[in-house]
Structure 1
Amino acid sequence: MSAELILHIITCNCFFLMAFVAWFNPHKVNVVANRWLGLFFAAVGCMVCNVVLYDAGLDAAYPRIIGFNELSRFALAPALYLSIAQFTTPGSKFKASDYLHFIPFTIFFLYMVPFLYFPDYQLIGGHFNLPPKLNFAIGFLVRWSINVQLLVYWVLAFNTLRKHQKHLLLIASDTVPVNLAWLKYLLMSVGGMLVLFFASIFFGIHLSPVVIATGYLLGTLTIFYHSLAQKEIFPFEVSELTAINEVIIADDNQVKPIKQRLSDEQAQHMRIKLESLMTAEKLHLDNELSLPQLADAIGASVHDLSFLLNEKIGLNFFQFVNAYRVEEAKQIMLSDKYKHLNILGIAYSAGFSSKTTFNTVFKTQTGMSPSAFMKQHKSINPSLQS
């Protein structure tokens, strides 16, 4: 048994295991999105299964399995897109219109039925007794349409994920746990496979099968780990999800309210209350602070708080909360009381959840890294500069 075949067998089993875990979702997070993701994993597993059968020389012995697995190719792209769409939509639910994405799959399924039940026929076009040239044209169209479909849905999915990472700034003070970066890596892997496919067609570029198989397996294990560690993206009540979704849609469409939600006097009163509460109770120290939580703390609606931040203060929620965290970090750095803390300790004490986020936000808001800031203040213990 070749190394390539072994790697493909392991990868195939991993994808089917990932499909099982995503579908039954033991943590019950992002349920609808994970079921679409499970369908995507199962479709990829079927494709890899065919690779295994061909590599092992078993394709002639199991023609129906080959035919069934071929069907999965048209389910792969829409399942991936719908998964990401569900991950990134607050309060998302399954809709009947989602089935429209599977029209190509349905057409191909009806085309494949005679082959699946009458294996004496050829895979492409044989059961219709079509002219050879038409058979070739149908086969060519099917093979290329799969990759074109995947390319189109890849662009849609990537754009949806990009928007999600922007939308999070409106509602979350810490985006790292819910920014779906692992799905971005998944999309980049799929994009890389598409590049290799088109490069092999147009430029004759080919890589070693063992290298490709190893890359698939490593990518699969990475995605598996992150899919197990995922958090609920929008852990809010139904009413809050509706409000958040409306805030996101308004920002997406750059809709300006015809009538101001708050008068200048109301906005000023709410701003004073908000800033007083942030200073007195240090709500920013909660690294999971969200827009609905802060709105509830000041007795305002999600819409009103979002309007106040974006239209009156001129900051999105992420910028507003992290400005307080940066100021908190500065005070900690300048205090002898916290000399025992290193950079990570300072970050946690100020409400940040990671050193990377702390460094990025601090430099964005001050123009210098935390270490550079400390070097400017000689009263800081030199041990903090490491």
Structure 2
Amino acid sequence: MSAQLILHIITCNCFFLMAFVAWFNPGKVNVVANRWLGLFFASVGSMVCNVVLYDAGLDKAYPRIIGFNELSRFALAPALYLSIVQFTTPGSKFKASDYLHFIPFTIFFIYMVPVLYFPDYQLIGGHFSLPPKLNFAIGFLVRWSINVQLLAYWVLAFNTLLKHQKHIQLIASDTVPVNLNWLKYLLLSVGGMLALFFASIFLGLQISLVIIATGYLLGGLAIFYYSLAQKEIFPFEVSELKAINEVIVEVDAQLKPTKQRLADKQAQQMRTKLESLMTGEKLYLDNELSLPQLAEAMGVSVHDLSFLLNEKIGLNFFQFVNAYRVEEAKQIMLSDKYKHLNMLGIAYSAGFSSKTTFNTVFKTQTGMSPSGFVNQHKKVVVATE
């Protein structure tokens, strides 16, 4: 048994296991999104299963399995895209129109039905009732349509994911647990495989099959880990999800209200109350603080608070909350009381949940790293002594 075949067998089992776990979702988080993701994993597993059968020389012995697995190619792209849509849309539900994404799958299913019911039937290119040239044309069209479909859905999915990473700054003060970077890496991996396919066609580039098989396996295991570690993206009540979705749509489309949502006097009163809560009760020290939580603490609607932040203050929720955290971190770093803390301890004490986020936000807002800020302060102290 070759190393390539062994790698493909392990990879096949890995993706089917991932499909099982995603579908039944032990953590009960992002349930609908994970079921679509499970279909994507199952589709990849089916494709790799066919590779195993071909590598082992069993394709002629199991034509029906080959035919069934070939169907998965047309479910692959829409399943991945719909999964990302469900992950990134607050309160999103499956709609009847979503079935339209599976029109190519349905057409190919009808085309492949004889494979499942006639033992002597051959795969694409072997139709007994069609002329050879037409068979070749259909086979060529199917092969290319799969990759073109995957490329189109890849672009849509990647764009959706990039928008999500901007949208969550409207509602979350810590985006790391919900930024779906692991799905971004998955998409980049799929994009890499597509690039290799088109490079092999147009540039004649050839990659070792063992290297490709190893890449599939390692990539699959990495995604499996992150899919198990995922958090609920929008852990809010139904009414809050609706309001959040409306806020995202309005900001994303840059819709300006026909009339001011808040009068200037009302906005100023709300702003005063907001700043009082932030400085007095230091709500920003809660590293999971969200827009609905802050709105509830203020006794206002999610819409009103979002309008106040984005239109009147000119900052999104993420920027607003983390500005307070940066100022808190500065006070901690300048205080002798906290000299025993390292940078991670300072980050946690200021309301940040990770050192990476702390460093990134601090540098964005001050133009220097936290350690650079400390060193600059030391120089100032020395100069004044």
Instruction: Work out whether the TM-score is over 0.5.
Output: yes
1:170: which partner in 2? 170
Structure 1 segment 1-386 matched on structure 2, within 5 A: 1-124=1-124, 126-127=126-127, 129-378=129-378
Q: Aligned with 1:233: secondary structure?
A: coil
5+ residue gaps, structure 1, are none
- Counterpart code for 1:5: L
Q: Is the 8 A contact 2:43 2:76 kept in 1?
A: yes
**Distance change in 2, residues 1:286/1:145 (3 Å):** same
Q: TM-score, normalised by structure 2?
A: 0.98
Shift of residue 379, structure 1, vs aligned partner: 8.8
Please list the CA deviations of residues 218-264 of structure 1 after superposition, one character each: whole Å capped at 9, or x if unmatched.
Answer: 10000000000000000000000000000000011110001111000
The secondary structure found in structure 2 opposite 1:124 is: coil
Q: Equivalent pairs: percent with the same residue?
A: 87
Local SS of the residue matching 2:236: coil
Partner Cα distance (1:123, 1:82) in 2: 29
C-alpha distance in structure 1 between counterparts of 2:83 and 2:11, whole Å: 21
Deviation digits for residues 24-59 of structure 1, max 9, x if unmatched?
001110000000000000000000000001011111
Measured in 2, the distance between the counterparts of 1:89 and 1:228 equals 20
Q: Quick one: distance in 2 between partners of 1:13 and 1:362?
A: 44
Could you tell me how far apart the structure 2 residues matched to 1:105 and 1:199 are? 26
Supply the distance in 1 between the matched residues of 2:206 and 2:125 (Cα, whole angstroms).
30
Check conservation: 1:277, 1:283, Cα contact below 8 A. Answer: yes
Distance 2:90 2:44 in 1: 27
Deviations 1:76-110 (A, max 9, x none): 00000000000000001111111110000000001
Distance 1:381 1:143, change over 3 A: farther
Q: Is the 8 A contact 2:8 2:48 kept in 1?
A: yes
- Maintained 8 Å contact 1:5/1:56: yes
Task: Describe the shift of the 1:263–1:128 C-alpha distance in structure 2 as closer, same or farther (beyond 3 A).
Answer: farther
Q: Distance in 2 between matches of 1:379 and 1:296?
A: 44
- Quote the offset at 1:129 in angstroms: 1.1
Whether the aligned pair in 1 keeps the contact of 2:287 and 2:352 (CA below 8 Å) is yes
**Does the 8 Å CA contact 1:147/1:194 hold for their aligned counterparts?**
yes
- Residue 381 of structure 1 deviates from its aligned partner by 11
CA distance in 1, matches of 2:118, 2:381: 80
- CA distance in 2 between partners of 1:248 and 1:71 (Å): 36
Structure 2 residue runs of 5 or longer lacking an equivalent are none
Counterpart residue type for residue 6 of structure 1: I
Q: C-alpha separation between the residues in 1 aligned to 2:380 and 2:279?
A: 24
Distance in 1, Cα, partners of 2:75 & 2:98: 12
Cα distance, 1:380 vs structure 2: 10
3-state SS of paired residue (1:236): coil
Output the CA distance in 2 between the equivalents of 1:298 and 1:195: 50
Query: CA contact under 8 A between 1:339 and 1:381: conserved in structure 2?
Result: no
Aligned residues: 382
Query: How far is 1:128 from its partner?
Result: 5.5
Tell me, what secondary structure is at the counterpart of 2:204? coil
SS in 1 for 2:216: helix
Amino acid at match of 1:338: Y
- The one-letter code sitting in structure 1 at the alignment partner of 2:46 is C
Give CA-to-partner distance per residue, 1:128-154, whole Å, 9 cap, x none: 611111110000000000000000000
Equivalent AA in structure 1 for residue 207 of structure 2: L
Following superposition, the deviation at residue 378 of structure 1 comes to 2.2
How far apart, in 1, do the equivalents of 2:335 and 2:128 lie?
A: 82
Aligned CA RMSD, in angstroms, stands at 1.3
Secondary structure (helix, strand or coil) at the match of 1:204 reads: coil
How far off is 1:377 after superposition? 1.5
Runs of at least 4 residues of structure 1 off by over 4 A? 379-382
CA contact 1:247–1:306 (8 Å) conserved in 2: yes
Distance 1:213 1:26 in 2: 29
C-alpha contact (below 8 Å) 2:127/2:135 kept by paired residues: no
Distance 1:378 1:361 in 2: 22
User: Aligned in 2, Cα 1:352/1:267: closer, same or farther, shift over 3 Å?
Assistant: same
